[in-house]
Structure 1
Amino acid sequence: MQRCKYPTKTMNITQSYTGTYSHSKNYNGSPRDYPIDDNSGTTGRSYFYAPFDCSIKRIYGVGAKGTNTIWIQSQAPVQTPSFTDYVTIMVIHPNDDTLSKLKVGQVFRQGAAMFLEGNDGRATGYHFHISAGRGRAQGNGWKQNTRGAWVLATSGGNYPPEKIFYIDPAFTKVQGTKGLQFVRSGVAQAGNTGSSSSSGNYRAGATLTLRADMNVRTGPGTSYRRKKRSELTADGRKHALSGTYAVLTQGTRVTVQKVQVSGSQIWIQIPSGWICAKLGSKVYVS
């Protein structure tokens, strides 16, 4: 199964989905999507590369109709850092000279050059405006939200880019992320090929002890957000530090539900969430 790869050879995100400039209406409206702008680290025009085997679902705006937009969809379920399913991606601003050469139904293999970044529409410079979601495109691929922004429409909902794309270090150089944390290809996440039911002393059903104060996260990795203390189980709150975020205290006994091995990291799921049990030679839970 293919992994969904970031689609440019240089990542240089110039505006994230929480940006206050042109993405505010996308993120703060309902439904929302999570667009990023990426100029590929150049003032010229770089290619968007197929993040997986895909086909073109729709092309809009070539000529004088409106801002140029293209929708692509995976040909089969693909692996992302947060799920395995079909993925649909919407890209805005490619110019006529590149979109006019494409057609709906055209197929591209993963890694193939598809189209160049552009400045069609209300763009201040060459870049890709990228939104991504789980599942197949719905309707004509977008809908207007409560803030008047046209957002991606997919069967499984829209996701932040760091939950959709892996960074393949052999393909993409990371220049700027605007604070977004992406998972490198080869570091598996929950439900993906790195998962296991046991690893050494870590196995489902085992009762272990925290050797340090530990953050509790929503998933197996630092790309997942820290939970708040209020999100812990009632028992978990009894063993947590006071404060906003969920931090279980050293000496807390926990029961393992799942084990996730990610390279040199071992993460375990407990009733309250996910904690790091081992990082390289450092053991936090035993």
Structure 2
Amino acid sequence: MALTKTKDGKTYELLRFPMKTMNITQGNNGQYSHQGVNALDIAGKDTGIEPTFAPCSMRYKWHDSAANGNAIFFESTAPVMFADGTIDYATFMFIHDNYIGDILALANKGHVFAQWEEFGDEGTAGRATG
């Protein structure tokens, strides 16, 4: 984990974008399911299934059913710096991965996903519209 220090001694991790391509298919307050929420739908560079990478060092917290899109929640293991300059722990939700059994198997063993470690894939589980 690559930590950076502030002038007052706080340590934090810089976030990385969780995919190699940034193709936003629905943004904040999007037309379909994002009304009133701060969420992005991101697709890969083409119609294939692209991998998802850990934006920071993170550990599994909770997941939902396939019918609800296999939503899986993680929390950073160290504070991260947000776009507004605040430093705090981050919670992430990744959704629509068609199969999360491999993630859950690692999580059940206490695995901590390292920054930029491949951990899942984009997919169409739940109410994906793309």
CA distance in 1, matches of 2:68, 2:83: 33
Q: Give RMSD over aligned pairs.
A: 1.5
Which structure has the highest strand share of the two? 1
Alpha-carbon displacement from aligned partner over 1:43-87 (angstroms, at most 9, x marks no partner): 11111101111111112215xx64311001100111222211100
User: Which structure would you say has the larger Rg?
Assistant: 1
TM-score, structure 1 length as denominator?
Answer: 0.38
CA distance in 2, matches of 1:15, 1:66: 18
2:63 aligned with 1:52, yes or no?
no
Given residue 120 of structure 2, which amino acid in structure 1 is its aligned partner?
A: F
2:73 aligned with 1:68, yes or no?
no
For structure 2, list consecutive stretches of 5 or more residues without a partner in the other structure. 4-12
Runs of 4+ more than 4 Å apart: none
CA distance in 1, matches of 2:31, 2:42: 16
Alignment size in residue pairs: 114
CA distance in 2, matches of 1:41, 1:106: 29
Partner of 1:225: none
Q: 1:54 to 1:111 in 2, by over 3 A?
A: same
Given residue 62 of structure 2, which amino acid in structure 1 is its aligned partner?
A: R
CA-CA distance at 1:16 after TM superposition: 0.6
Choose from 93, 98, 116 the match for 2:96.
93
Alpha-carbon displacement from aligned partner over 1:210-261 (angstroms, at most 9, x marks no partner): xxxxxxxxxxxxxxxxxxxxxxxxxxxxxxxxxxxxxxxxxxxxxxxxxxxx
CA distance in 1, matches of 2:68, 2:128: 13
Percent identity, aligned pairs only, is 37
CA distance in 2, matches of 1:79, 1:5: 11
2:42 aligned with 1:38, yes or no?
yes
1:1-286 paired onto structure 2 within 5 Å:
1=3, 2-24=13-35, 27=36, 33-62=37-66, 66-82=68-84, 83-96=86-99, 99-103=100-104, 104=107, 105-125=110-130
CA-CA distance at 1:93 after TM superposition: 0.8
